Amino acid sequence: MSGPVPELSARAAACADRLRDADDVLLASHIDADGLTSAAIASSALERAGLPFETVFCKQLDAEALAAIAATDHETVLFTDFGSGQLDIIAEHESAGDFEPVIADHHQPADADTEFHLNPLLFGLDGSSELSGAGASYVLARALEPDAGDNRDLAALAVVGAVGDMQISDGELVGANTGIVEEGIDAGVVETGTDLALYGKQTRPLPKLLEYATDVYIPGISNDQNGVLRFLDGVGIDLKEDGDWRRWVDLTADERQTVASALVQRAMRKGVSASKIEGLVGTTYTLAAEPEGTELRDVSEFSTLLNATARYDRADVGLAVCLGDREAALEQARTLLKNHRRNLSEAISWVQSEGVTKEEHVQWFHAEDRVRETIVGIVAGMAVGANGIDRNVPILAFAEKNDEEVKVSARGTPALTRKGLDLSVVMKTASQAVGGDGGGHNVAAGATVPKGKEEAFVEHADELVGEQLG
């Protein structure tokens, strides 16, 4: 890898040697796009290395989940996309002889360590932008390659994981992620280009592509169905085919250029700032081997498809798609995706109509049982870009988990982390203060808190954010 971190590769080699010594491996991973792609990369690498393994997924790697893992008869457990944040508990199991851990993760490590721990944060890399869980798993997979083998094709999944974890900064992947992209290009599985940075270029009809584009807010286009239709009508190209709207992928390069220029002009006329307009264009990552016009071709759409499976207890479906099932699993994933989209769009509408509560330094909403706890983080992230919600204040989003516990997700922006915001510390500290636990990244983190403690939690979080940004 062209990554500038030899220590990371050395640690990966040590982890790979440890795995080769195992009789069999229990692979445990997280239930989101990054966790699924991590598991797919790790399981492909184990399979190719001839190592027997079994795969499990956990919503969250808490004490209970770890106890269940300890109760299995696997001696070696490979954790991907989680494990670092729970190192304290894992280390206890290790000392007790319950299992020996190997970890490929990118979350903020808890206060403990173990020998076979592969995490970009240990080597001076940023775990929320420079390497994801799938990236760490990919580095491990390269180290696990048999002499005659080549695992570079797995770079495609690593790019899906990184983009799914929103590691794109200022329009492109950075840090060690760029080394993975290059290997994917060399292996013929990834293609990059410069194009409109909108979600849905492969599958959305043009009007929906533009109407739902809110990251850069364009008055008269974003969230404006009729405005979009008038805009497209004025572009001067036949954008329909047999009466149906074409998609971005269906346009020729010239046609794309025409629509993109018209969009930029419209944004300028509406007073959108030059720096924001720059954000309309970015580097796109495409999976070269996947058919055009499908969710699998665009890494961003691929990652949403995966979230639609694992966050609804169907990680098996997402994993099968990652591993190449283009029949039954893909069809099931598409059905789950429709349901996921409906849930997200209903949730966002609810948040917008209900509004958020503003504290001094944070804003929050409580969805109770209206939003599944496994997607409340995605909703919080989308809310930050939505109409009427302040982008300059971190957002906390609660949803019911069970009779005793509430899930809370926090999302900030890169501009806020540059000013000192670290939501991973906020979520960990504030949740522990009320008898819960949490962690994550500076820009996005989560926690579980006892029901009824939400208000106390918000107070703690508000104070901590105030200290960080003050």
449 binds ligand C5P (CB under 6 A): no
Terminal-residue alpha carbon distance, the chain: 40
Q: Count residues binding ligand C5P (CB under 6 A).
A: 32
183-216 burial, b for 16+ CB within 10 Å, e for fewer?
bbbebebbebeebbbbbbbbbbbbbebbbbbbbb
Of 165, 167, 184, 185, the C-alpha closest to 175 is 167
Phi-psi region of 223 (alpha: psi -120 to 50; beta: other; left: phi over 0): left
Of the pair 145, 405, the CB lying nearest ligand C5P is at 405
Spell out the long-range contacts of 296-299 with Cβ–Cβ below 8 A and sequence spacing 24 or more.
296/321, 296/330, 297/202, 297/249, 298/200, 298/201, 298/202, 298/203, 299/159, 299/160, 299/163, 299/164
- Shortest-Cβ-distance residue relative to Zn ion: 34
Contact pattern from residue 257 through residue 296 relative to ligand C5P, giving x for each residue in contact according to CB under 6 A and a dash for the rest = ----------------------------------------
In whole angstroms, give the CA distance from residue 236 to residue 441.
Answer: 45
- Residue from the set 166, 206, 216, 347 that interacts with ligand C5P by CB under 6 A: 166
- Considering only 26-34, 196-204, 223-231, 333-341, which stretch makes contact with Zn ion by CB under 5 A? 26-34
Of 88, 89, 91, 122, the C-alpha closest to 105 is 122
Of the pair 183, 437, the CB lying nearest ligand C5P is at 437
- Residue from the set 196, 317, 445, 461 that interacts with ligand C5P by CB under 6 A: 445
133 binds Zn ion (CB under 5 A): yes
104 binds ligand C5P (CB under 6 A): no
Contact pattern from residue 167 through residue 186 relative to ligand C5P, giving x for each residue in contact according to CB under 6 A and a dash for the rest = --------------------
Of the pair 14, 174, the CB lying nearest ligand C5P is at 174
380-415 burial, b for 16+ CB within 10 Å, e for fewer?
bbbbbbbeebeeebbbbbbbbbeeeebbbbbbbbee
212 binds ligand C5P (CB under 6 A): yes
Backbone angles phi, psi at 407, to 5 degrees: -95, 140
CB of 132 to Zn ion, least distance (A): 5
Of the pair 74, 204, the CB lying nearest ligand C5P is at 204
- Residue from the set 443, 449, 458, 464 that interacts with ligand C5P by CB under 6 A: 443
Site residues (CB under 6 A) for ligand C5P? Answer: 30, 32, 34, 60, 81, 85, 107, 128, 165-166, 199, 212, 304, 340-341, 344-345, 377, 381, 409, 411, 437-441, 443-448
Site residues (CB under 5 A) for Zn ion? Answer: 34, 81, 133, 165
